[in-house]
Amino acid sequence: MNRVRFLASVAAGSLLLSATAMAQEADKKAERAWKAKCASCHGQTGKGDTDQGKKLKVEDMTAPAYASKKDADLKKAIQEGVKADGKEVMPAFKDLTPEQADALVKYTRSFKK
C-alpha cells in the first residue's frame, strides 16, 4: 500500500472512531437526562413501575403500543409536556434542546421487550 492510501485509510479510521465515540457520548448524555428527568415516573427501564408511575398510570415503554408511536409525537410530549383531563401529568422539559429531546426519544426506543 502506498503512503497516500495508507494515510487516507488511517484518517478514515480515525473519523469512524471519532463518530462512534461521539455517538456513545450522546447515548450517555441521554441516559443521564433520562435518570434525572424521567426515571422517577417511567422507571429505569421504561416500564412505569415506580410508585409515581403507577399513580399516574404511565405507559409501559416496552410494550408494542409504545413502539408504534411516532418519534415526532414523543418529542413533542417531552418538549411540551402531557395533559390529561386538563391536568398536567408530565411536565414540559423546555430546558432540553431539540437534539437532547431527539436523543431521549432514541433512548426510549431501547426499552423494547
What would the grid cell of residue 32 be?
A: 443521564
Domain ranges of the chain: 26-111
pTM: 0.76
Q: How far apart are CA 53 and CA 95, in angstroms?
A: 22
Q: How far apart are CA 43 and CA 100, in angstroms?
A: 19
Q: How far apart are CA 87 and CA 97, in angstroms?
A: 25
DSSP 94: T
* pLDDT (mean) for 86-113: 92
Please write the tens of the pLDDT for every residue from 11-29. Answer: 555 555 555 665 667 678 8
26-111 domain in CATH 2.30.110.10? no
Q: Where are the alpha helices (DSSP H) in 48-97?
A: 51-56, 64-67, 71-80
